[in-house]
């Protein structure tokens, strides 16, 4: 009786492979994504980036897509499964160690990166790497050296880590290693996830730097950082006291230099304030980062004297808090040098603010400015236009106070 040959699995797997290919067939689209834009900007600035996020939210997928969009070969290294010698290099004894020394041989993935001349090095699971491995990574992240091998300028470094609470056998990052990264908190956006599962993911693109803005961007960045540190010298170096905070972003001369670079890149590319906020706070920490952002806001405010000289042509900030600061500064300038013409110009400026913004922003400056009037000064007609807004705002405040008193809130 002839022996029947069982059918091979090949044809069946071919159909399965075809289905898998269809599932992998996705596209990308330009879509606003501030964390992806911040990541791309830091990569363009050639700064090491560390993505913090819970397991399974797409950190690795984001890096894979970023490498594809930037046309960079991706090299993934799981830091937690390597030995310190995998990053510091293995000693290779030659013919005459006393004469030639003992070179440190790099791993094969580093050799491939050097041969390619460019690439994206992804150090995954950084928070589960033991302290000895973290110490070996210091030279790689800062000096871009592995053993006796120097990584070329075309290689960018990005790492990923899970918070210690959700990392298997996790370790806190050592302060020297943490201070070498731009820390970005990676969170999932449900709309992005749903659209991506439908086949369309957001596209990562390199920032377009304006060649005509490069010099101004550098000046702006230096003025911003140096201006804050001159006023707040204690922020130059502040090592956090808690172990967990030392493993994140904190201010040091190194991280301020990184911040300066990021401000210059963000300015030259016209990035939004939200993107700049992620980058700045991810480099020097939330407190110093927010101080720097507030300082930069004040740095760009118009000069009160220029506004008083031409109130009709004044351009006031759109943001309410910045507009309030400008109006307060104008009233302070009149108080410091009282003059009827300057007083009249301030009223004209408040009228312009009333016409172009929220009425409640002029209430306090108008009340203060009215108190500065001297007996011989004529009451300008502009006051009549402001009286209604002031009275309405006061009635609203009193009504709100009554509601609060009744509800006890």
Q: Please tell me whether residues 191 and 87 are part of one structural domain.
A: yes
Report yes or no on 71 lying in a domain: yes
Q: Which of 252, 275, 299 is the last residue of a domain?
A: 299
Q: Please tell me whether residues 158 and 48 are part of one structural domain.
A: yes
Report yes or no on 114 lying in a domain: yes
Angstrom distance (rounded) from CA 14 to CA 90: 43
Count of other CB atoms within 10 angstroms of residue 299: 12
Ordered DSSP codes for 234-300 = GGSS---SSHHHHTS----HHHHHHHHHHHHHHHHHT--HHHHHHHHHHHH-HHHHHHHHHHHHHHT
Q: Please tell me whether residues 47 and 175 are part of one structural domain.
A: yes
Q: Please tell me whether residues 308 and 344 are part of one structural domain.
A: yes
Q: Please tell me whether residues 274 and 331 are part of one structural domain.
A: no
Q: Please tell me whether residues 321 and 292 are part of one structural domain.
A: no
**What pTM, to 2 d.p., does this model score?**
0.77
Q: Please tell me whether residues 231 and 198 are part of one structural domain.
A: no
Domain containing residue 53: 31-91+102-202
Q: Please tell me whether residues 231 and 374 are part of one structural domain.
A: no
Q: Please tell me whether residues 235 and 187 are part of one structural domain.
A: no
Angstrom distance (rounded) from CA 74 to CA 118: 10
Q: Please tell me whether residues 313 and 369 are part of one structural domain.
A: yes
Report yes or no on 5 lying in a domain: no
Question: Total domain count for the chain?
Answer: 3
Q: What is the full per-residue pLDDT of the chain (409 aa) written as tens digits?
A: 555 555 555 567 888 889 999 998 888 888 888 999 999 999 999 999 999 988 888 888 888 888 888 889 999 999 888 888 888 877 776 655 656 556 777 888 889 999 999 999 999 988 888 888 888 899 899 889 888 889 999 999 999 988 866 655 667 888 999 999 999 998 888 888 888 888 888 887 888 999 999 999 999 999 999 999 998 999 999 999 887 889 999 999 999 999 999 999 999 999 999 999 999 999 999 999 999 998 898 887 888 888 888 888 888 888 888 888 888 888 999 999 988 899 888 888 888 888 887 777 888 888 888 888 888 888 777 676 676 655 544 544 454 455 455 555 5
Consecutive H or E run containing 130? none
Q: Residue 185: beta bridge partners? A: 52
Report yes or no on 9 lying in a domain: no
Q: Please tell me whether residues 115 and 56 are part of one structural domain.
A: yes
Angstrom distance (rounded) from CA 248 to CA 163: 11
Q: Which of 299, 329, 362 is the last residue of a domain?
A: 299
Q: Which of 256, 283, 299 is the last residue of a domain?
A: 299
Q: Please tell me whether residues 256 and 288 are part of one structural domain.
A: yes
């Amino acid at each position: 009786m002839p022996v029947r040959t069982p059918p091979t699995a090949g044809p069946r797997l071919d159909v399965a492979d075809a289905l898998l290919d269809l599932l992998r067939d996705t596209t990308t689209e330009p879509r606003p994504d501030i964390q992806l834009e911040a990541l791309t900007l830091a990569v363009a600035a050639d700064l090491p980036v560390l993505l913090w996020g819970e397991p399974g939210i797409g950190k690795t997928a984001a890096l894979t897509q970023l490498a594809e969009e930037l046309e960079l070969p991706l090299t993934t290294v799981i830091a937690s499964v390597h030995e310190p010698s995998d990053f510091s290099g293995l000693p290779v004894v030659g013919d005459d160690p006393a004469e030639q020394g003992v070179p440190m041989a790099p791993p094969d993935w580093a050799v491939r990166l050097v041969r390619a001349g460019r690439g994206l090095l992804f150090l995954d699971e950084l928070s589960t790497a033991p302290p000895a491995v973290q110490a070996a990574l210091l030279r790689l992240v800062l000096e871009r050296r592995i053993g006796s091998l120097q990584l070329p300028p075309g290689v960018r470094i990005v790492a990923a880590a899970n918070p210690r609470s959700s990392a298997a056998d996790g370790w806190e990052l050592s302060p020297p290693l943490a201070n070498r990264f731009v820390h970005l908190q990676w969170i999932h956006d449900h709309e992005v996830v749903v659209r991506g599962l439908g086949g369309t993911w957001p596209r990562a693109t390199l920032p377009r730097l304006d060649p005509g803005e490069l010099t101004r961007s550098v000046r702006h960045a230096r003025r911003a950082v140096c201006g804050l540190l001159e006023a707040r010298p204690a922020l130059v170096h502040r090592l956090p006291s808690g172990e967990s905070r030392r493993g994140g972003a904190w201010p040091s001369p190194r991280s301020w230099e990184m911040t300066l670079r990021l401000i210059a890149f963000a300015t030259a590319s016209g990035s939004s304030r939200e993107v700049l906020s992620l980058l700045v706070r991810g480099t020097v920490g939330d407190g110093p980062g927010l101080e720097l952002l507030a300082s930069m806001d004040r740095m760009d405010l118009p000069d009160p004297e220029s506004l008083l000289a031409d109130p009709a042509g004044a351009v006031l900030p759109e943001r309410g808090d910045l507009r309030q600061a400008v109006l307060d500064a104008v009233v302070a300038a009149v108080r410091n040098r009282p003059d009827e013409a300057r007083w009249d110009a301030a009223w004209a400026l408040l009228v312009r603010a009333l016409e172009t913004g929220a009425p409640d922003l002029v209430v306090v400056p108008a009340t203060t400015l009215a108190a500065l009037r001297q007996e011989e000064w004529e009451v300008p007609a502009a006051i009549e236009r402001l009286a209604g807004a002031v009275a309405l705002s006061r009635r609203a405040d009193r009504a709100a106070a009554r509601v609060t008193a009744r509800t006890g809130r």
